[in-house]
Amino acid sequence: MNAQYAPYLGKDLLGLEELTREQIIGILDTSEPFKEISERAIKKVPVLRGKTIVNAFFESSTRTRISFEFAEKRLSADTVSFAAGGSSVSKGETLVDTARNLEAMRIDMVVIRHGSSGAAHFLADRIASNVINAGDGKHEHPTQGLLDLLTIRDHFGTLEGKKVCIVGDVLHSRVARSNIWGLRKVGAEVAVCGPLTLMPPRVEEMGVTVFRRIEEAIEWADALNVLRLQLERMEGGFVPSLREYNRVFGITNDRLDRAPNDILILHPGPMNRGVEIDSVVADGPHSVILKQVTNGVAVRMAVLYLLAGGEPDTAEAAKIGTGL
Ligand code: CP
């Protein structure tokens, strides 16, 4: 881990659009040895000992923030987390000034979640530390995309040729964009399904099939990635009512009864139970929603390791602390 910037991933992880197929597969493969660390009684290896990481969350998060914190601590990094509300951002300090002040304290990496699309790129262009995008506006959420890919690959043994339909509020979803880029690059077939009001204009130009009816999507798919209706990003008028949405596009047991036996149900969370997904499905045998969360820690450990200068083929050694 001598390189200041890893040749493998470059300086930052900003989106899956920028990554090659080989880099995406490399991250997934590197995640595998890191899975086991979280199953140990003592969940710690010295891979990032001496590194300082700031988790800057300008937007709410449960899974991503805590998952990054666990990944960092399990790799022995020193970490600080802050939210906009308790920081000088609430007094009007800019994003760049905040980041430069953090850099003045000699940090190595920033994990950033921000409500504005492009915020992670903006920061990455202006600071020397590694920047990891933990979700920027409606743009990308690369580590969520990677953990979704890993969870699908775990189940089917491959991503090549698998049919994944992203269901619901694609318009407001950074998860959808990262899934579309990532899945297509590794050879999966991707479709979207939802109300036209929640589809980006010319979405088919991203190389996806568009289904108008959820029944057709279920018949076609090996996996459904069910998106949250992002009510906080809607100003009204996108769907007639939540009940109507559930009736037309909701993932219900009745609809899954007609699905192939091993269809996978993913959801990035947080879920609106009874709206985009019924509780019996979310907690049922097709669901891998909590496996996604577990895989999130391993994927983030792999990303941190690779950005710190690790090479994918040395991950096994790094895991047990002999590769430093
Ligand atoms: N999937 C996801 O990004 O969840 P959080 O908003 O809780 O981090």
pLDDT tens-digit readout, 161-192: 999 999 999 999 999 999 999 999 999 999 99
Average pLDDT over residues 56-73: 97
Average pLDDT over residues 35-59: 96
Q: Which atom of ligand 1 is nearest to the CA of 64?
A: 8
For position 322, what pLDDT does the model report?
54
Residue 149's nearest CA partner among 38, 314, 26 is 26
Lowest mean pLDDT: which of 45-49, 59-63, 88-92, 274-278? 88-92
233 band by pLDDT with thresholds 50, 70 and 90: low
Whether the predicted pLDDT of 85 surpasses 90: no
Q: Going by CA atoms, what residue is nearest to atom 6 of ligand 1?
A: 61
Q: Going by CA atoms, what residue is nearest to atom 4 of ligand 1?
A: 63
Q: Does ligand 1 come within 6 angstroms of the Cβ of 64?
A: yes
Separation of 60 CA from ligand 1 center, angstroms?
8
pTM for the structure as a whole: 0.94
Separation of 42 CA from ligand 1 center, angstroms?
26
Average pLDDT over residues 47-62: 96
pLDDT tens-digit readout, 22-36: 999 999 999 999 999
Separation of 293 CA from ligand 1 center, angstroms?
10
For position 2, what pLDDT does the model report?
44
Whether the predicted pLDDT of 3 surpasses 50: no
Neighbour tally for 243: CB within 10 Å: 12
Of 260 and 244, the structure prediction assigns the larger pLDDT to 244
Q: Which atom of ligand 1 is nearest to the CA of 269?
A: 1
Mutate to test the pocket of ligand 1, among 81, 114, 144, 277 (most ligand atoms within 8 A of CB): 144
Separation of 153 CA from ligand 1 center, angstroms?
21
Q: What share of the chain is helix, strand, coil (3-state, %, to 5)?
A: 45, 15, 40
Separation of 280 CA from ligand 1 center, angstroms?
21
63-74 and 142-156 helices, crossing angle to 10°: 80
Lowest mean pLDDT: which of 21-25, 86-90, 115-119? 86-90
Q: Does ligand 1 come within 6 angstroms of the Cβ of 269?
A: yes
Distance, in Å, from the CA atom of 163 to the CA atom of 189, rounded to the nearest integer, reads: 5
C-beta separation of 67 from 91 below 8 A: no
Q: Does ligand 1 come within 6 angstroms of the Cβ of 230?
A: no
- Mean pLDDT taken over the chain: 93
Catalytic entry in 11, 63, 233, 273: 63
